[in-house]
Amino acid sequence: MARWEPGARERIVLAALDLFTEQGYDGTTVAQIAERAGLTKSTFFRHFRDKRELLAAGQETLSRLLAEGIAEAAEGATPLAAVAAGLERASTEMGPINRELGPRISAAVAASTELQERAILKNVGLAAAMTDALAARGVPDPVAHLAAEMGVLAFKRGFAEWSEGSGAATDDLAPYTLAALHDLRAASASLG
């Protein structure tokens, strides 16, 4: 298997994350990101409309994949089984680049209040996409909302464990997110 070679888009994301970590999101300009990536500003703007769009880049795709997986789950699947199908669909699309970006994203988020707020809003966006997909399957309101919240938690936890783990672990994200969902399901039984 060929070593992963970052293209322009990936270099922009990596440069931005490093700069956000070093000097915060607010203190970083598009010009600085382009320079760090060894690209021109106009190359930056061919890939991203602005600095903010760079943050939203992954969210739309992830929302779509989670919702697709839920929609395509077997007829009669329980709400959590449908969520598991969504996690599996999204997880199988995540590759080495996502795994490598994970700890860098965490570092950048830890260094910036603005990025922390963005991360929260992103999670809520993912939960909304999953709630809608479950509602479209006929899952009633509070159940759909709860199942979607558990799905976001499971994705976050599974992704963190996967991307922070050593190279010895599997390259596949799905076992991590599905195990996290399983743990949350067990947790729901001890709520009282």
Q: Which is nearer to its own copies, 36 or 145 (CB)?
A: 145
Q: How far is CA 168 from the centre of its chain?
A: 22
Cα–Cα dist 162/144, whole Å: 26
Q: Which amino acid is at 170?
A: T
CB of 14 to its own copies, least distance (A): 27
Q: Which is nearer to its own copies, 41 or 49 (CB)?
A: 49
CB of 178 to its own copies, least distance (A): 14
Report angle CA 110, 115, 117 to the nearest 5 degrees: 105
CB of 185 to its own copies, least distance (A): 7
Cα–Cα dist 129/119, whole Å: 15
Q: Are 86 and 63 in contact (CB under 8 A)?
A: no
Q: Which is nearer to its own copies, 27 or 140 (CB)?
A: 140
CB of 46 to its own copies, least distance (A): 27
Nearest partner of 79 among 161, 190, 160, 188, judged by Cα = 188
**Distinct helix (H) and strand (E) counts, the chain:** 9, 0
CB of 167 to its own copies, least distance (A): 26
Contacts to its own copies by CB under 8 A = 77-81, 117, 120-121, 124, 140, 142-143, 145-147, 149-150, 153, 157, 183-185, 187-188, 190-192
Q: Which is nearer to its own copies, 44 or 155 (CB)?
A: 155
Q: Which is nearer to its own copies, 107 or 146 (CB)?
A: 146
